Chain A
């Protein structure tokens, strides 16, 4: 983690010195994470790729204002998030992809989708973008409440409350899915 933070500092300083290829290193380091986050909000891969590309271009242009002593990705995430929410309210969006076409989770070990992972993935996709974003950042990225508060620009108390309600909504759908599955296998 510390090593990665140091790498960020070196790379962003090289970018500020005008080395475009250094920015390429940053893009390649964080693009997978960024695409996952954009997809969680937009539920459409082509839109997610557009949002990530636009956000990286905007980040490069705003790099002068970036404090290199801080981590790159949390700062970049704010730009990406703004871009995604702007696209969510835009009328020019592509239609949301079929719910089965959006994969947010890595296939479990053994390359086969267990009932649990498949159900988690389906429920995540059915949630509102705000709930899905929060659960992805908490459970897939492992962010703390403090880090979540920083990413989302809200107090830690608000994060706790939103997380509680997002998990409740997740639980309702998840339990229903499991009940359905049990009923099908019993029948």
Chain B
């Protein structure tokens, strides 16, 4: 069982061994170590473990991740290609629209333009924006813990 003072001195002695400014003065550390055999032994053991760790060098890795990174960046930069289903839905939509217009026109007589115009305007808007203006998407994104 070590006292709070012992813990502080051990941390300060370790900081001094690492060449950092310790939170206690050199004199305070020495005074405590002179009277506490347990802390003296602890600091000596710490020194013995720091030395072999300091002698190691990091491995140099030859793997190259740039081709993968570059490919991912290119993929993201390329404009998104519309999916095949999008064309199917577009053709189906146009077919339904054409049927509706052809069916409604005879009933409206000469007064069809104000009723059909909003539909045409909406279609043109979709076409010009080349995207869903309401930003409705089937992709659900869950934000997880990014610790």
Q: Is the CB of B58 within 8 A of A57?
A: no
Question: Of A105, A144, A167, which is within 8 A of B49 by CB?
Answer: A167
Beyond A31-B66, A138-B18, A160-B15, list 12 extra A-B contacts (CB 8 Å): A27-B66, A35-B65, A36-B59, A82-B146, A86-B144, A89-B145, A140-B56, A157-B23, A160-B14, A167-B14, A171-B45, A174-B49
Of residues 13 through 54 on chain A, the ones whose CB sits less than 8 Å from some CB of chain B are 20, 23-24, 27-28, 31-33, 35-36, 45, 49, 52-53
In the bound complex, residues from chain B placing their C-beta under 8 Å from that of A140 are: 56-58
Q: Is the CB of B55 within 8 A of A116?
A: yes
In the bound complex, residues from chain A placing their C-beta under 8 Å from that of B73 are: 20, 23, 57, 60
Give the interface size bracket for A toward B.
35 or more
Q: Is the CB of B68 within 8 A of A53?
A: yes
Of residues 38 through 56 on chain B, the ones whose CB sits less than 8 Å from some CB of chain A are 45-46, 48-50, 52-56
> Given contacts A60-B73, A145-B15, are A32 and B61 in contact (CB under 8 A)?
yes
Which residues of A line the B interface, CB within 8 A?
A: 20, 23-24, 27-28, 31-33, 35-36, 45, 49, 52-53, 56-57, 60-61, 82, 85-86, 89, 103-106, 116-117, 119-121, 135-136, 138-141, 144-145, 157, 160-161, 163-164, 167, 170-171, 174
Which residues of B line the A interface, CB within 8 A?
A: 10-11, 14-15, 18, 20, 23, 45-46, 48-50, 52-66, 68-70, 72-73, 76, 144-147
Question: Of A28, A36, A85, A119, which is within 8 A of B58 by CB?
Answer: A36
Write 20 A-B pairs (CB below 8 A) sorted by A numbering. Answer: A32-B60, A36-B61, A60-B73, A61-B76, A82-B146, A82-B147, A86-B144, A86-B147, A89-B145, A106-B59, A116-B55, A120-B56, A136-B58, A138-B18, A139-B50, A140-B56, A157-B23, A163-B14, A167-B14, A170-B49
Do most interface residues of chain A lie in helix, strand or loop, or is the interface mixed?
helix
Q: Is the CB of A139 within 8 A of B56?
A: yes
